[in-house]
Structure 1
Amino acid sequence: MSITSFLKVIGRGSKGAGDLDRTQAKDVFTAILDGNVSDLELGAFCIAMRIKGESVSELMGFMDALQPHLNLLNLGTRPTIILPSYNGARKQANLTPLLAGMLSSYGFVVLVQGVEKDETRVTSYEIFKSLGWPILKTKDEFGALLALNLPIFCPLNVISPALQRLLDVRERIGLRNTGHVLAKLINPTLQNPWQVSNYTHPEYPEKLREFFQLRSANAILMRGSEGEPTASLQRLPEMHFLFQNGNEVTKLEQRFDDPNPFFDIDSIPTASVTQKILSGQVRCPSSILRQADQISTMAGLH
């Protein structure tokens, strides 16, 4: 399938480009996920969307196209938190596994979904491996992993091989693309859990708010730390709790001055300190403790 007609809409630069409507966005993304688009057109699509930015109608249509390509997991009735982990640690320790462990200790099912490797960063997947925590290898083993009562890492390659292939385009063109935006928005379950959605660029909060409201989802919007869905050691950013019934509650930013227990950001040292914090041997950073408490309170478990 040729997507030339769509490229003519989105490919006219930051000022001249138009937005696709939801049906058009679904059509073009279906063709991409099905592998029916040439490499040249796929590269043009990725660059055009990178320059233009995704509209809400496009995000909705892209997600419509993605739904049949998701291997959805059945949670049952247990309250669940979804943490997307697509960046990892570069300058500061990756605190996503620690937040996941804290929330799990409060009684939540916690799914961390993301990529397994990044050549320049320490991923949550690598920390999970060092911790010996469960990592989903196939959809069929999910029920057995739930019984372990530990956070579960769900690789994107298991949740959606088609979307993983789109993320892998980054290795050829050197830039992230729309696939990375969508990956962070995935709900990999058959239920409606709480999804943490972190952003970096200031134009995204309003788009994400509208996106989750249109999907009647429970979501927590926040500015991430190095692209991860956590507070940093020094700061818990403002968090917006969006309820599926349309209500919204905002928790204001807080700052902290705790000592840093993470002096080495590699996976094995990070896993070691994470385990010591969860076992009570080392004090949990105030920012992560406060984030976990706020999420637990708003989601009804603590």
Structure 2
Amino acid sequence: MTEAMSQEFRGYLKKIGSGVHTSKNLSRQESAAATRLMLQQQATPAQIGAYLIAHRIKRATVDEMAGILDAFELLGPQVPEIDNPQPVAVFSVPYDGRSRTAPLLPLIALLLATEGNPVLMHGGTCMPTKYGVPLVDLWKGLGIDWTALTLEQAHQVLSETGLSMVYLPQHFSLAHQLVDYRDQIGKRPTLATAELLWCPYAGNRHQFSGFVHPPTERLLQDVFALRGNVYPYTTIKGLEGSCDLPCDRTNIIGVYNPDNDPPFERLFLSARDHDLGGAEVPLESTETLLAQMHQVIAGQKSPLLPAVLWSGGFYLWHLKLCPDLRSGIEKVRSLLQEGKVASTLQHLCQKISACS
């Protein structure tokens, strides 16, 4: 760390942290520079903590969020494009996991890969402030360990199996070293919102971002537009900010496709219209959840099955793997009962093992 760098960062901190009447927003370029200084530890720990909490209180602007993503793109990993006619489904979900309802993404990813649509996830370890169950732990419970793969191996596995994960501690250690600050300040920083927008894939994709509050979705849309996004994306008011579709209420979904006129449309879908409505499955424990996941993969009766049929059917339809939602739901049922999802998981286990 150099004195000049910490003085530069001090200027950015002073600008956003001066209070209601005198603080100012950063430009996109200033936000990118400040984020680079944090990622590269060229700001002091006191400066980083103060900046994160000040930004949390002020709330990031569209320009500031775009700058954060510019820094992520410059310093972070990018999985090279694979040879597949289908766009890679990139899931951007909260890194601090789920604590109340059962997460479904590993099962959704297996379903999509079984039908030939590749999936790339990204995430880390158990993380503040929710300390919910992280995706990587669920995958370990299914026999898949993403944590030791190099980025090149992650790319290879994606190309050969249609499934992979960018694991923050292994592939983006610069960002992972800022995780402790989340615990120390006791709040999700602006970086947590950036993770809902970040896409560590260099090729043709369809990005999915979960959200809880409507202003977050508006921010996502505006940042995508400012950064010149040319790929489809979908925003989902999902369970605990995830991309899992609720079964107990109407789903609110935003769909952006640059080839459509208008490019953005709103979907309102109800599981009750397909006899799949009901209470959400609670997350009782990781062990119970994994047992339920194994039941689903084996084509057995499980409390998770209606939720998997609902979310899985939506994604098969939405990614044009089925002609309509109802046929997507039935396709999920047949893939599970015929053991095809189990075969996909077995194939993935073999490929991961070959990398070790």
Q: TM-score, normalised by structure 2?
A: 0.76
Q: Which residue of 2 aligns with 1:116?
A: 125
Q: Which residue of 2 aligns with 1:299?
A: 319
**1:116 shift after superposition:** 1.9
Deviations 1:28-66 (A, max 9, x none): 112111211111211111011100111110111111112
Aligned counterpart in structure 1 of residue 56 of structure 2, from 26, 50, 57: 50
Aligned counterparts of 1:300 and 1:225: Cα–Cα separation in 2: 23
Instruction: Kindly indicate whether residue 217 of structure 2 is the aligned counterpart of residue 205 of structure 1.
Output: yes
Secondary structure of 1:108 counterpart: coil
Worse-superposed segment, 79-88 or 7-16: 7-16
Secondary structure of 1:250 counterpart: strand
Query: 1:8-19 counterparts in 2 under 5 A?
Result: 8-13=14-19, 17-19=23-25
CA contact (8 A) 2:120 2:158 kept: no
Q: Which residue of 2 aligns with 1:278?
A: 297
CA contact (8 A) 1:19 1:55 kept: yes
CA contact (8 A) 2:56 2:189 kept: yes
Report the identity percentage: 22
Secondary structure of 1:282 counterpart: coil
Secondary structure of 1:238 counterpart: strand
Instruction: Kindly indicate whether residue 83 of structure 2 is the aligned counterpart of residue 83 of structure 1.
Output: no
From the superposition, tell whether residues 194 and 15 of structure 1 become closer, same or farther in structure 2 (CA, over 3 Å): farther
CA contact (8 A) 1:84 1:197 kept: yes
**1:148 shift after superposition:** 5.5
From the superposition, tell whether residues 102 and 41 of structure 1 become closer, same or farther in structure 2 (CA, over 3 Å): same
Aligned counterparts of 2:217 and 2:282: Cα–Cα separation in 1: 32
**Which has the larger Rg?**
2
Worse-superposed segment, 239-248 or 206-215: 239-248
| Higher helix residue share | 2
Aligned counterparts of 1:134 and 1:243: Cα–Cα separation in 2: 34
Worse-superposed segment, 27-36 or 15-24: 15-24
Instruction: Kindly indicate whether residue 310 of structure 2 is the aligned counterpart of residue 290 of structure 1.
Output: yes
Worse-superposed segment, 124-133 or 240-249: 240-249
Q: Which amino acid aligns with 1:20?
A: L
Q: Which residue of 2 aligns with 1:248?
A: 264
Query: 1:167-206 counterparts in 2 under 5 A?
Result: 167-206=179-218
Aligned counterparts of 1:130 and 1:124: Cα–Cα separation in 2: 10
**1:134 shift after superposition:** 5.0
Q: Which residue of 2 aligns with 1:125?
A: 136
Aligned counterparts of 1:233 and 1:15: Cα–Cα separation in 2: 44
Aligned counterparts of 1:91 and 1:152: Cα–Cα separation in 2: 26
User: How many correspondences in the alignment?
Assistant: 302
**1:106 shift after superposition:** 2.6
**1:221 shift after superposition:** 0.9
**1:174 shift after superposition:** 2.0
CA contact (8 A) 2:246 2:280 kept: no
Q: TM-score, normalised by structure 1?
A: 0.88
Q: Which residue of 2 aligns with 1:161?
A: 173
From the superposition, tell whether residues 80 and 242 of structure 1 become closer, same or farther in structure 2 (CA, over 3 Å): same
Aligned counterpart in structure 2 of residue 223 of structure 1, from 219, 231, 237: 237
CA contact (8 A) 2:257 2:264 kept: yes
Worse-superposed segment, 274-283 or 21-30: 274-283
Q: Which amino acid aligns with 2:212?
A: T
Secondary structure of 2:133 counterpart: coil
**1:73 shift after superposition:** 0.9
**1:146 shift after superposition:** 2.6
From the superposition, tell whether residues 30 and 45 of structure 1 become closer, same or farther in structure 2 (CA, over 3 Å): same
Aligned counterparts of 1:114 and 1:90: Cα–Cα separation in 2: 16
From the superposition, tell whether residues 298 and 95 of structure 1 become closer, same or farther in structure 2 (CA, over 3 Å): closer
Unaligned runs of 5+ in 1: none
Aligned counterparts of 1:47 and 1:133: Cα–Cα separation in 2: 36
Aligned counterparts of 1:245 and 1:30: Cα–Cα separation in 2: 34
